[in-house]
Chain A
Amino acid sequence: MWRRSASFILDNRNAAPPQPPAAAKPDTLTLSSAPPPTAAMADALQNPNPNISAYYQTRAAHHGVVTSDWLAQAQAAVGPRSVEGGDGSSSAADSGGVGGGGGGGVGRPFSVIDEFNNWRKQPDLAEAVAAIRALAAVIRNSEATTMMELEIELKKASDSLKAWDTTSISLTAGCDLFMRYVTRTSALEYEEFNSAKSRLIERAEKFGEISQKARRIIAMLSQDFIFDGCTILVHGFSRVVLEVLKTAVQNKKVFRVFCTEGRPDRSGLRLANELAKLDVPVKILIDSAVAYTMDEVDMVLVGADGVVESGGIINLMGTYQIALVAHSMNKPVYVAAESYKFARLYPLDQKDMAPALRPIDFGVPIPSKVEVETSARDYTPPQYLTLLFTDLGVLTPSVVSDELIQLYL
């Protein structure tokens, strides 16, 4: 039986899915008593450091391993309950936020960006989910009395969100997705305003679950591709990839994993740590050892920060060269990505994207005359990818554009 949504793969499972950790939490405890939105929202909160990609900063904070006690830190980050607890008492986190202007006082006007930064701090929450929850908070705090007003307000909020961090593709995609839902859902037109509003909020809250579910779907779908005795090369840390490998372990598959180091935030070490806990044989490679080990590898599995219209992916720096090496050695390259990462972008080459920069610590001082390439991501063209594992099913790269056209046009 084939259903439209690939989620059928979940229905086939007997075991109950694990509790979605993040979704259960009610939104209302943050900023529930926020004052009305003001025009200040538009001009408020310029990104303090536009030269550094906030998205990759957050990633580094969540997945990066910079300090020596990374083991303990990672362990602390894994336990979702403990994270919930830490984040639940949240107004402190608000003030220390990347973009937070001042203290999280009660008298401060509501800001969608603060809200978003608040959400994005949770390591288990995808950026798109954070964006959608932030927009939901906009709806909740809105004083609009008509659908049109609400739409305009939302549009403003999503534009300011997008402008705040142009490097985050999931943020943009999440905003677009939600805006599309608001503007296109015909059911909303015939409804009374308040119930439409609550429907939107409900929808936004559900999105966290959807994102969790998407990961499980992807994990289930990709099991057919992981065979006993295979060697998988992974790059960087990706929640989806981790979920895939976890599920493979649960399914008693025997495989080993090569993790790249993932400089500069060394997120690969984090993944290696997670996998070691699952008793998966792991080997850590430095990023430059990919070609050296490629003939031992059976498949390359990477996550994606964004999937673009051509079917290519934008991902952590180094993905492109791994894909190139794998392609030249005829190894399959699989990408695990949720469908909310699909973005209406079409980079033609590496330079054709908004630069996402990130400081790199080389350990030694770099002479001022020496230039440092600080870009955090690269673009892998579709011809080097074999398949994309998404919650819509296992897709070839060319289907991505099909899905995007149907979604957004």
Chain B
Amino acid sequence: MDPRRIPHAAIKPKVRQVGFVPRNAPPEPPARSQSYPAEASSPPLSDSPAGNSLSPVMIPPPRHLSDNLAAYRTPAVPVPETARRRAGHSPVVGSYDPAESLLGTSSPAPSPPSSGRLIVDGEFSEESWLLRRSNSAKFASSFPGGGFDLTAVKAVSAADLASDANVKKTTEKSKGSALELKNEAIPSSKPLKAKTTKSERRALQESQRAAKVAGRVEGNKSTAAASGRVTYAKAAKQPTQKKDVASAAPSVAASEKKGSDRAPEKDKKKDAPAPRMQFDDKSRVEKAKRRAVVNQTEARNRVELFRHLPQYEQGTQLPDLESKFFLHEPMHPAIYKVGLQYLAGDISGGNARCIAMLQAFQEAIKDYVTPTEKNLNRDLTAKISSYVSFYTECRPLSISMGNAIRFIKNRIAKLPLSLSESDAKTLLCSDIDRFINEKIIVADQVIVRHATTKIRDGDVLLTYGASCIVEMILLYAHEIGKQFRVVVIDSRPKLEGQSLLHRLIAKGLSCTYTHINAVSYIMHEVTGVFLGASSVLSNGTVYSRVGTASVAMVANAFRVPVIICCEAYKFHERVQLDSICFNELGDPDAILKVPGRMDVNYLSNLQNRENLQLLNLMYDATPSEYVSMIVTDYGMIPPTSVPVIVREYRREQLLI
């Protein structure tokens, strides 16, 4: 529950500037956030491209845009709904009696009023219906299938509501959110509830009800009255002394008091990587460089809109790093090797990169020895984090890798302390093996089975670039004797389609090869578009190789179904609307030069001109309305169901 949040990021909201920051400006002055309107007017966009002065694009604070590894992403300002929902999903919170869950599901028959929870239920039910809705179709069939505990959920939501009611009144929004974070942090660190007596519970309910009623009567922003109410609520709670259901600790002070409870919390915070680097933030970049193993030189003349993304000159560092292969003490050679392969571009493709990384981790774990006076759980997590940051320096992580790393860290954190080191290591290695097997290899097979049902004889299937899963689908469909033709669309500069084409032709498929310029021409004869994806985000947006969006858009315009094939481990709960704020920049020289064509290399010696900015984007975001279907290992789903998969299987994915 808690590692999803990065509390300190939420406490100090900073307005980040993408684009121009004056050179002599102090790094990240907090006052910046206030002064931006004035600044926005000062340097017009077209002012002087040479002078490096760019329009200040304001990007919201990094809270929710943090690194992949930052685990669960949350909306910018934690809305009460999400908080409640989340609380509801944690099974340990609240007093939870499995016997009661059955009663709760089948009928609203009142359980014996032993806990007094029912009163809370009645009181707050209107607000918590949203929550209950979330475990919906467990009973949809009107079969009493397994459901999950409603009563616990209700109790928690009620408590949460009370806390919200309090929190809402605190003056500042940011403060409010911080508070809420802390409140939320408490119950999980204290999963086992101390037994409360009847009177205590009653007192708690009274206080919650009072807070809520008061909250209803008065408006939401009357601060003066609110503070009074908060103290009242606190006073009412003091005698009860429960740190459990009352995630409703009403003030910062109160939660500070429980600092000792949150000690493990802090550790987790430390382990969690900082929010994703914004590469227009000079001071941070400098700091990062000092730590970095790979000292990449940054490409010059980056396009202003994409200045927050890292862009390096390619190929300069490799020889140097290769020579340092044996010098780096802390880095395991397997990790180092894979990192260099990333850097050189020898491993590409989401699954391949992910598997390579996981196997490197496996090697590293096998050779890992816990230092004396250190704990395996923590030290290994730190180690993994350092490896991950090395990989990030080599090439920005993909979302799927982020999910895999999150899985590993979760497994390490969950290792029982009593386990011996060798046992723990074998356990981890087998976990990683299982992840690779279940989430990637078997998942691919399932997807292939599903997707081939959508291929009919006489179809003309179009694909873009080289997606290994689409290749597997096409080959399998050919193998089982379906008659179809393939159109491979390709684009400069990577020309990945050619390798796919090579393999398809070798297997005897009849193919058409063309470039993306001709996609609107070729589309009228196509009956289906199969595309791979780097990730699918929870609003159904497909994050994939640049060009995918155009292909999907053209297909949609021609009423050709667009089928996205993607393993469920690549799903992510983030929402992204454009391909600007999160993307990867490739080698700018690659689009500058046309190999083998001396006659069109007009630009070959212009790359360092100040008035030339080169943009080689790697990914783009396809809006969900262009997507007809997503084929995953859980079946064929519409893009609107991605959040359902994320919600239903996140837990399982972390636990496997």
Chain B, 267-311, contact with A by CB distance < 8 Å: what is the 0/1 string?
A: 000000000000000000000000000000000000000000000
Could you tell me if A186 and B454 are in contact, using CB atoms closer than 8 angstroms?
A: no
Known A1-B126, A348-B629: A181·B137 in contact at CB below 8 Å: no
Q: Within 8 Å of chain B (Cβ to Cβ): is A177? A: yes
In the bound complex, how far is the Cα of B654 from the Cα of A202, in angstroms?
Answer: 39
Known A392-B137, A409-B635: A348·B628 in contact at CB below 8 Å: yes
Give the interface segment out of B17-25, B55-63, B636-644. Answer: B636-644
Neighbouring A residues of B133 by C-beta, 8 Å:
2, 4
Neighbouring B residues of A340 by C-beta, 8 Å:
141
Neighbouring B residues of A2 by C-beta, 8 Å:
125-126, 129, 132-133
Could you tell me if B644 and A405 are in contact, using CB atoms closer than 8 angstroms?
A: yes
Neighbouring B residues of A310 by C-beta, 8 Å:
629, 638
Of listed A5, A339, A340, residue having the most chain B CB within 10 A: A5
Could you tell me if A3 and B140 are in contact, using CB atoms closer than 8 angstroms?
A: no
Could you tell me if A311 and B137 are in contact, using CB atoms closer than 8 angstroms?
A: no
Could you tell me if B629 and A181 are in contact, using CB atoms closer than 8 angstroms?
A: no
Q: Within 8 Å of chain A (Cβ to Cβ): is B645? A: yes
Could you tell me if A186 and B141 are in contact, using CB atoms closer than 8 angstroms?
A: no
Q: Determine how close the nearest CB of chain A comes to the CB of B329; give it in whole angstroms.
A: 47
Could you tell me if A4 and B139 are in contact, using CB atoms closer than 8 angstroms?
A: yes
A70-126, CB < 8 A from B: none
In the bound complex, how far is the Cα of B145 from the Cα of A203, in angstroms?
Answer: 13
Neighbouring A residues of B41 by C-beta, 8 Å:
none
Could you tell me if B145 and A184 are in contact, using CB atoms closer than 8 angstroms?
A: yes
B139, B146, B645: which contacts A186 (Cβ < 8 A)?
B146
Could you tell me if A352 and B638 are in contact, using CB atoms closer than 8 angstroms?
A: no
Could you tell me if A402 and B136 are in contact, using CB atoms closer than 8 angstroms?
A: yes
Could you tell me if B454 and A181 are in contact, using CB atoms closer than 8 angstroms?
A: no
In the bound complex, how far is the Cα of B300 from the Cα of A276, in angstroms?
Answer: 79
The residue in chain B whose Cβ has the minimal distance to the Cβ of A7 is B142
Could you tell me if B528 and A401 are in contact, using CB atoms closer than 8 angstroms?
A: no
Known A186-B146, A348-B528: A311·B634 in contact at CB below 8 Å: no
Q: Within 8 Å of chain B (Cβ to Cβ): is A143? A: no
Neighbouring B residues of A184 by C-beta, 8 Å:
145-146
Q: Within 8 Å of chain B (Cβ to Cβ): is A283? A: no
Could you tell me if A185 and B126 are in contact, using CB atoms closer than 8 angstroms?
A: no
Neighbouring A residues of B143 by C-beta, 8 Å:
177, 180-181, 185, 203
Chain A, 1-18, contact with B by CB distance < 8 Å: what is the 0/1 string?
A: 111110000000000000
Neighbouring A residues of B561 by C-beta, 8 Å:
348-349
A359-409, CB < 8 A from B: 382, 391-392, 398, 401-407, 409
Interface size of A by CB at 8 A reads 37
In the bound complex, how far is the Cα of B90 from the Cα of A256, in angstroms?
Answer: 51
Could you tell me if A401 and B141 are in contact, using CB atoms closer than 8 angstroms?
A: no
Q: Within 8 Å of chain A (Cβ to Cβ): is B144? A: yes
Could you tell me if A405 and B629 are in contact, using CB atoms closer than 8 angstroms?
A: no
Could you tell me if A403 and B142 are in contact, using CB atoms closer than 8 angstroms?
A: no
A4, A180, A391, A405: which contacts B645 (Cβ < 8 A)?
A405
Q: Within 8 Å of chain A (Cβ to Cβ): is B256? A: no
A160-209, CB < 8 A from B: 177, 180-181, 184-187, 203
Q: Within 8 Å of chain A (Cβ to Cβ): is B324? A: no
Chain B, 607-643, contact with A by CB distance < 8 Å: what is the 0/1 string?
A: 0000000000000000000001100001111101100
In the bound complex, how far is the Cα of B142 from the Cα of A177, in angstroms?
Answer: 10
In the bound complex, how far is the Cα of B528 from the Cα of A311, in angstroms?
Answer: 20
Could you tell me if A339 and B638 are in contact, using CB atoms closer than 8 angstroms?
A: no
Q: Within 8 Å of chain A (Cβ to Cβ): is B651? A: no
Q: Within 8 Å of chain A (Cβ to Cβ): is B138? A: yes
Q: Within 8 Å of chain B (Cβ to Cβ): is A344? A: yes
Known A184-B146, A346-B629, A405-B645: A309·B141 in contact at CB below 8 Å: no
Q: Within 8 Å of chain A (Cβ to Cβ): is B108? A: yes
Neighbouring B residues of A187 by C-beta, 8 Å:
144
Known A339-B141, A348-B561, A403-B136: A409·B648 in contact at CB below 8 Å: yes
Q: Within 8 Å of chain B (Cβ to Cβ): is A210? A: yes
In the bound complex, how far is the Cα of B528 from the Cα of A352, in angstroms?
Answer: 12
Neighbouring A residues of B139 by C-beta, 8 Å:
4-5
Known A180-B141, A203-B143, A339-B141: A4·B629 in contact at CB below 8 Å: no
Q: Determine how close the nearest CB of chain A comes to the CB of B641; give it in whole angstroms.
A: 4
Could you tell me if A406 and B528 are in contact, using CB atoms closer than 8 angstroms?
A: no
In the bound complex, how far is the Cα of B540 from the Cα of A401, in angstroms?
Answer: 14
Of listed A2, A4, A184, A404, residue having the most chain B CB within 10 A: A4
B125, B454, B641: which contacts A401 (Cβ < 8 A)?
B641
Neighbouring B residues of A3 by C-beta, 8 Å:
108, 132
Neighbouring B residues of A180 by C-beta, 8 Å:
141, 143, 145
Neighbouring A residues of B129 by C-beta, 8 Å:
1-2
Could you tell me if B140 and A406 are in contact, using CB atoms closer than 8 angstroms?
A: yes
Could you tell me if A309 and B126 are in contact, using CB atoms closer than 8 angstroms?
A: no
Q: Determine how close the nearest CB of chain B comes to the CB of A399; give it in whole angstroms.
A: 8
Known A185-B144, A348-B454, A349-B561: A406·B648 in contact at CB below 8 Å: yes
In the bound complex, how far is the Cα of B132 from the Cα of A70, in angstroms?
Answer: 48
Could you tell me if A405 and B637 are in contact, using CB atoms closer than 8 angstroms?
A: yes
A177, A351, A392, A401: which contacts B644 (Cβ < 8 A)?
A401
In the bound complex, how far is the Cα of B644 from the Cα of A210, in angstroms?
Answer: 27
Neighbouring A residues of B136 by C-beta, 8 Å:
4, 392, 402-403, 406
Neighbouring A residues of B641 by C-beta, 8 Å:
398, 401-402, 405
In the bound complex, how far is the Cα of B125 from the Cα of A186, in angstroms?
Answer: 29
Could you tell me if B636 and A406 are in contact, using CB atoms closer than 8 angstroms?
A: no
Known A4-B136, A403-B140: A398·B125 in contact at CB below 8 Å: no
B137, B638, B645: which contacts A403 (Cβ < 8 A)?
B137
Chain B, 123-156, contact with A by CB distance < 8 Å: what is the 0/1 string?
A: 0011001001101111111111110000000000
In the bound complex, how far is the Cα of B136 from the Cα of A339, in angstroms?
Answer: 13
The residue in chain B whose Cβ has the minimal distance to the Cβ of A181 is B143
Could you tell me if A181 and B145 are in contact, using CB atoms closer than 8 angstroms?
A: yes
A349, A392, A398, A409: which contacts B140 (Cβ < 8 A)?
A392
In the bound complex, how far is the Cα of B138 from the Cα of A392, in angstroms?
Answer: 11
In the bound complex, how far is the Cα of B41 from the Cα of A125, in angstroms?
Answer: 71
Neighbouring B residues of A1 by C-beta, 8 Å:
125-126, 129
In the bound complex, how far is the Cα of B189 from the Cα of A390, in angstroms?
Answer: 41
In the bound complex, how far is the Cα of B640 from the Cα of A187, in angstroms?
Answer: 33
The residue in chain B whose Cβ has the minimal distance to the Cβ of A405 is B644
The residue in chain A whose Cβ has the minimal distance to the Cβ of B643 is A402
Q: Determine how close the nearest CB of chain A comes to the CB of B228; give it in whole angstroms.
A: 32
The residue in chain B whose Cβ has the minimal distance to the Cβ of A311 is B638
Known A184-B146, A407-B140: A398·B132 in contact at CB below 8 Å: no
In the bound complex, how far is the Cα of B142 from the Cα of A203, in angstroms?
Answer: 10
In the bound complex, how far is the Cα of B648 from the Cα of A1, in angstroms?
Answer: 26
Could you tell me if B146 and A346 are in contact, using CB atoms closer than 8 angstroms?
A: no
In the bound complex, how far is the Cα of B636 from the Cα of A336, in angstroms?
Answer: 24
Neighbouring A residues of B138 by C-beta, 8 Å:
406
Could you tell me if A346 and B644 are in contact, using CB atoms closer than 8 angstroms?
A: no
Neighbouring A residues of B635 by C-beta, 8 Å:
309, 344, 405, 409
Neighbouring A residues of B454 by C-beta, 8 Å:
348, 352
Q: Determine how close the nearest CB of chain B comes to the CB of A328; give it in whole angstroms.
A: 15
Could you tell me if B636 and A346 are in contact, using CB atoms closer than 8 angstroms?
A: yes
In the bound complex, how far is the Cα of B461 from the Cα of A40, in angstroms?
Answer: 43
27 examples of A-B residue contacts, CB within 8 angstroms: A1-B125, A4-B139, A5-B139, A5-B142, A177-B143, A181-B143, A181-B145, A185-B143, A210-B142, A309-B638, A310-B629, A339-B140, A339-B141, A339-B142, A346-B637, A348-B454, A349-B561, A352-B456, A392-B140, A403-B136, A403-B137, A404-B137, A405-B637, A405-B641, A405-B645, A406-B136, A406-B644
Across the A-B interface, the 9 shortest Cβ-Cβ residue pairs = A398-B640, A2-B129, A406-B137, A403-B137, A401-B641, A348-B561, A346-B636, A402-B644, A310-B638
Interface residues of B (CB under 8 A from A): 105, 108, 125-126, 129, 132-133, 135-146, 454, 456, 528, 561, 563, 628-629, 634-638, 640-641, 644-645, 648
Q: A185-B144, A401-B637 are in contact. List 8 more A-B contacts (CB 8 A).
A: A3-B132, A180-B145, A181-B143, A185-B143, A309-B636, A311-B638, A405-B635, A405-B644
